[in-house]
Amino acid sequence: MSLRINDEAPNFTAETTQGTLNFHEWIGNGWAILFSHPKDFTPVCTTELGYMAGLKSEFEKRNCKVIGLSVDPVSDHREWLKDIEETQGHAVTYPLIGDPELKVAKLYDMLPATVGDTSKGRTPADNATVRSVFVVGPDKKIKASLTYPMSTGRNFDEVLRLLDACQLTAKHQVATPVNWKQGEDVIIVPAVSDEEAHKRYPEGWKAPKPYIRIVPQPK
């Protein structure tokens, strides 16, 4: 069964470019982004990991750690990191998980069940579903997930926007409308009664319909 929103993010211990780590212990009391890529030394993945490296400080400002994964061994990751820095202009300083036995990839349903037990002999077709993102909260539960095909590089600015929205909802019980960006108006969630909403927003709200209650983004 695939992982769903509010499922606990499966814990694991794995080898990474920064040593052995336990996922839940590594997350600690903050947020985390776990993202996978199909294969080291490939063009789209090189651009993705380099761009994420450039955004790492933005995630850190939001108390969010970043960790990558592919089914390549850690030794390959370390060699590839040189190419990423050279071609993308950013050094990857977040850990990369080596998962040649597919343990984590299968745990997070990143691969077809028929793929086998190791990365040896894998073809590009086997990698087609391995471009996933999981947003994990301090409670170790999955707050959001995205999956892209092998041929499509992800928009990591969107992942950052998604994190902002998830954190805002967790803190203030508000929802974010279509194409919302940091600092824009938000919507009071239906679970908050008008009585409770008046306590939180004494100046009131805009309501084009009774069920649409729009307020400035809480600080």
Residues sharing a CB contact under 8 Å with residue 215, sequence separation 6 or more, in sequence order = 174, 185, 186, 187, 188, 201, 205, 206
Exposed, middle or buried by CB within 10 Å (0-12, 13-18, 19+), for 66?
buried
Q: Give the mean pLDDT of the chain.
A: 92
> What is the CATH code of the structural domain delimited by 13-154?
3.40.30.10
Which pLDDT score is estimated for 128?
41
Residue 160 structure tokens: 């950052």
Determine which helix (DSSP H) or strand (DSSP E) holds 44, and give its type and residue range.
Answer: helix 43-61
Which pLDDT does position 127 carry in this prediction? 47
pLDDT at 39 over 60: yes
What does the block give as tokens for 8?
């606990």
Q: What is the pTM of this model?
A: 0.92
Average pLDDT over residues 164-176: 97
Q: How many residues does the chain have?
A: 219
Catalytic residue among 9, 14, 32, 45: 45
Angle between helices 156-172 and 43-61 (to 10 degrees): 30
31 is written with which tokens?
A: 């947020």
Query: Is pLDDT at 105 greater than 70 in this prediction?
Result: yes
Residue 7 has pLDDT above 60, yes or no: yes
- Burial (CB < 10 A; 0-12, 13-18, 19+), residue 28, is exposed
Is 45 designated active site?
yes
For 173-215, CATH gives: 3.30.1020.10
47-65 per-position pLDDT tens digit: 999 999 999 999 999 999 9
Are 201 and 188 within 8 A, CB to CB?
yes
Query: What pLDDT was estimated at residue 119?
Result: 57
How do the domains of the chain map onto residue ranges?
13-154, 173-215
